[in-house]
Amino acid sequence: MATLTIAGKTVQVNDEGFLTNPAEWTKEIGAEIAKQEGIAELSEAQWKVIDWARGAAQGGKSPTLRQITTGVNITTKDLFTLFPKGPAKKVAHIAGLGKPEGCV
């Protein structure tokens, strides 16, 4: 298991850079991962999605795209606007959760 220092905190990650222990996550870590994903600053709408995903995760398992759009009451198009190029994967990564099942 690899470790990374993100926002001044050392966390354990898998081979793809996803946190392996969601309890190690902080909002500062999420903001730093977002920057690495090309999102300079997270908006209130983006934080709403991230917070929902963390609350909906079961055993570190990330919610799917459909679960996110339904749970947050957001269209798929709007979710792609907030998190371009693979929103479920980006949300999971930023939220400190495991890679969603079915994502490549």
Active site positions, annotated: 103
Hey, what are 71's tokens? 């749970």
For the chain, the residue count is 104
C-alpha to C-alpha distance for 98 and 42, rounded to whole angstroms: 20
What is the rounded (10 degree) CA torsion for 85, 54, 98, 32? 60
Please provide residue 60's backbone torsions phi and psi, each rounded to the nearest 5 degrees. Answer: 80, 0
